[in-house]
């Protein structure tokens, strides 16, 4: 019998990055992506909102760039203390923090396999600063891709502990997992490095790819790949570097996974019907057959 789909979390809430060049990095997200600075922390971290939540992206000044943590919103029936207890039972370090960051009164930070810090919270403030009309101005934070040498263990953490399902993989290297209807909310890349691969934001519609790329180019930022359609997830995606060479993905039209059916909602561009989780080859990265010089595996 198919395991019941009932993850402990329902969405990715925020990503926190350490940056050696906070001003330039912040300006990129404010001016080119149209985010709003909502608050500044005691440690000079800046809290940036896409339009509703207190923060979708946190930037903290540091000497080296790094993925600090990612935050997931717990389902109502799972409390912060439940999550902390369950993580400790699994042998993981879990620290409950109160007022550790603006906008999130209580959270638990778990050290997941590979040393990835994952925060879980039940509520985040929603000052709703509004969506900007300038720059790429995405709708929402969609997913994060994490490179780790502990890929199998981190995948097991997401699947077995948090209840995510694996929706696809590319050559067993990139592994796509979801806790909701989006094809992927995390992408775990198995490689001998520990860092963020990319952070992805959903645009309003596919026509926005043109204006987003125009806005980036006007700011001197070139695209690395796309806009083009992926195979795994079938999102129309375009990638660029932020000022720290952290890859930013802007995407639309991501597959919607139907856990009850174990398949993605059918789309005209699917070449596999029904579109069930599968392992794609490295040569199948692009659904339109386009060949891009940029190799996402080494970004």
Q: Which stretch binds Fe ion (CB under 5 A): 51-59, 60-68, 97-105, 197-205?
A: 197-205
Q: Least distance in Å: CB of 172 to Fe ion?
A: 17
* 249/255 with CB nearer Fe ion: 249
Q: Which stretch binds Fe ion (CB under 5 A): 174-182, 245-253, 271-279, 283-291?
A: 245-253
Q: Does 196 bind Fe ion (CB under 5 A)?
A: no
Q: Does 249 bind Fe ion (CB under 5 A)?
A: yes
Q: Does 141 bind Fe ion (CB under 5 A)?
A: no
Greatest C-alpha distance within the chain: 54
Of 278, 266, 277, 280, nearest to 5 by C-alpha is: 277
Dist CA 153 CA 5 (whole Å): 20
Dist CA 286 CA 117 (whole Å): 31
Q: Least distance in Å: CB of 287 to Fe ion?
A: 14
With CB under 5 A as the rule, give the number of residues binding Fe ion.
Answer: 2
* 250/275 with CB nearer Fe ion: 250
Dist CA 254 CA 269 (whole Å): 12
Q: Least distance in Å: CB of 232 to Fe ion?
A: 9
Q: Which stretch binds Fe ion (CB under 5 A): 212-220, 248-256, 271-279, 289-297?
A: 248-256
Q: Least distance in Å: CB of 34 to Fe ion?
A: 19
DSSP 241-259: E-TTS-EEEEEE---BEET
CA 207: distance to chain centroid? 22
Dist CA 226 CA 195 (whole Å): 23
* 48/200 with CB nearer Fe ion: 200
Q: Which stretch binds Fe ion (CB under 5 A): 79-87, 133-141, 163-171, 247-255?
A: 247-255
Structure tokens at 99: 């007022």
93 exposure class (CB count in 10 Å sphere: 0-12, 13-18, 19+): exposed
Count of helix runs (H) and strand runs (E) in the chain: 4, 19
Q: Least distance in Å: CB of 226 to Fe ion?
A: 11
Residue 145: Cβ within 10 Å count? 21
261 exposure class (CB count in 10 Å sphere: 0-12, 13-18, 19+): exposed
Cα separations (Å) of 162 from 26, 124, 173?
32, 20, 21
* 107/188 with CB nearer Fe ion: 188
Q: Which stretch binds Fe ion (CB under 5 A): 17-25, 37-45, 241-249, 273-281?
A: 241-249
Dist CA 12 CA 18 (whole Å): 18
* 74/116 with CB nearer Fe ion: 116
Q: Least distance in Å: CB of 296 to Fe ion?
A: 9
Q: Least distance in Å: CB of 82 to Fe ion?
A: 30
Question: Among 18, 189, 200, 236, which residue interacts with Fe ion (rule: CB under 5 A)?
Answer: 200
Interacting residues with Fe ion (CB under 5 A): 200, 249
């Amino acid at each position: 019998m198919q395991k019941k789909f009932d993850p402990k979390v329902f969405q990715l809430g925020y990503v926190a990055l350490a940056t050696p060049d906070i001003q330039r990095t912040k300006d990129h997200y404010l001016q080119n992506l149209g985010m709003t600075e909502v608050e500044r922390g005691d440690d000079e971290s800046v809290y940036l909102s896409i339009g509703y939540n207190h923060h979708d992206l946190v930037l903290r000044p540091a000497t080296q760039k790094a993925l600090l943590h990612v935050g997931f919103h717990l389902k109502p029936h799972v409390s912060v203390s439940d999550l902390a207890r369950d993580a400790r039972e699994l042998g993981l370090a879990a620290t409950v923090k109160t007022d550790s960051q603006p906008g999130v009164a209580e959270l638990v930070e778990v050290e997941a396999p590979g040393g990835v810090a994952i925060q879980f919270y039940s509520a985040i403030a929603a000052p709703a600063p509004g969506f900007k009309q300038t720059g790429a101005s995405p709708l929402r934070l969609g997913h994060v891709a994490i490179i780790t040498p502990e890929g199998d263990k981190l995948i097991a953490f997401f699947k077995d502990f948090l209840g995510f399902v694996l929706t696809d993989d590319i050559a067993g290297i990139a592994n796509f997992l979801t806790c909701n209807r989006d094809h992927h909310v995390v992408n775990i890349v198995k490689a001998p490095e520990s860092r963020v691969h990319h952070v992805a934001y959903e645009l309003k519609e596919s026509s926005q790819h043109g204006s987003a790329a125009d806005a980036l180019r006007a700011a001197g930022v070139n695209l690395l790949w796309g806009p083009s359609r992926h195979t795994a997830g079938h999102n129309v995606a375009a990638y660029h570097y932020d000022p720290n060479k952290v890859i930013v993905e802007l995407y639309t039209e991501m597959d919607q996974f139907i856990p009850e059916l174990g398949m993605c909602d059918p789309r005209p561009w699917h070449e596999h019907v029904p579109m069930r989780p599968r392992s794609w080859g490295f040569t199948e990265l692009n659904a339109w057959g386009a060949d891009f010089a940029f190799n996402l595996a080494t970004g």
